[in-house]
Structure formats: structure tokens, C-alpha cells
Structure 1
């Protein structure tokens, strides 16, 4: 891995990354991200795959959206969600490889 020079990183970017990682650190939100993967899914599909209430999922989706981890859009009566940036999926994959080896 390349060394990261902290002097070249803007303080506001460090703060944003820290808040995003904190949001992703909640077990339910991490599960939502794993369920989404590289797919765009309706909220109700996320609810059924994660196994909690729609209101609970919606609260966690709001947090992930606020931290710019996921994006959502309306399609008729459905709200569709997806991970905003493929680099986030790379981060999830690295975490899975590190903490959940097969």
C-alpha cells in the first residue's frame, strides 16, 4: 500500500471521510450497503432482505444519504437506492476480505 501524506489531504475531506466511516460503522447500515452492493433497489426490497421495519430502514437510509454514501430517486411510488460511488463498494470489499475471510 502506498503511504498517504497527511499534509496533502484537506482537513474538510478528513472530516467528511471520518463522518462517512462512522455512518457506515453501524451494523444495520453496513448490512444495507452489503444488500445494495452494485444494485439499485427499492426500499421495500432492502426491508425484506435486511429484516427490520420500513421506518427503521428509512431512518438509516436517511443517514447514509446525508453522508453522501448512497443516493436515492423516486420511480412512481417506489424509492430506489444505490451506493453513490463504486469506491465505496471497494471499501466494503476490503473490509469483507479483512474481517470476514472465507
Structure 2
């Protein structure tokens, strides 16, 4: 792991902006839950609705935000809209958050 206090560690402005944009989009509990449900899969919106447990309208609004922020992509397959996480880096970030915040207490 890189030590961010190391003077040789320099983040490009572009990467800082990208990270900030991703964190803002993921900062809403429902959007984070949507991303956790999708994970590495490609899921239809209605599967996401059923697993998250809110209305289809509400999920669609949050999916639109995640799509606008380039966190997820979606495509039409017949009458279904399929969603997946766009960038593998987002999945790595989610994994780090799970390891940090979702550890099993013994």
C-alpha cells in the first residue's frame, strides 16, 4: 500500500477530481447499497429494486445519478435495463470500505 505521507506520492489533479466525484456519488446510503447489490454483476433494475427494498422510481433516480457520475453503465436488453459498475477501481474502493467498516466481530 502506498504511504500518502510519502513525498514521492503525488496524486494528479485529474485523479483527485475523479476520486472526489466518485466519493460524492457513493456518499448517499441508498446509492452505496445499490453498488453493493450490483457488485461485479450486471443486474436488471428490478432485481436491484427487490434486493434494495425501495420503489422502482427511487432506484431509477439514484441509478441515473450514478450513471451521470460515470459510476455505473446501463444497457437495454429487450424490456429490461441492465446495470453494472463501470470502473473496476470502484469495486476495489468498495472492497476496501467493506474491509474497513464491515468486519465481522468475534
- In structure 1, the gaps of 5 or more residues are none
Q: Does 1:82 align with 2:84?
A: yes
Per the normalisation by structure 1, the TM-score is 0.90
Q: Give the structure 2 partner of residue 2 of structure 1.
A: 2
Q: Give the structure 2 partner of residue 55 of structure 1.
A: 57
Runs of 4+ in structure 1 deviating by more than 3 angstroms, as ranges, are none
Query: 2:13 pairs with 11, 14, 35, which one?
Result: 11
Query: 2:28 pairs with 26, 32, 53, which one?
Result: 26
Deviation at 1:80, TM superposition (A): 0.2
Aligned residues: 100
Deviates more, 1:84-93 or 1:49-58: 84-93
> Structure 1 or 2: larger helix share?
1
- In structure 2, the gaps of 5 or more residues are none
Deviation at 1:15, TM superposition (A): 1.9
- Once residues 84 and 12 of structure 1 are traced to their aligned partners in structure 2, the CA distance between those partners, rounded to angstroms, is 18
Say which one has the larger Rg. Answer: 2
Deviation at 1:19, TM superposition (A): 1.6
Per the normalisation by structure 2, the TM-score is 0.87
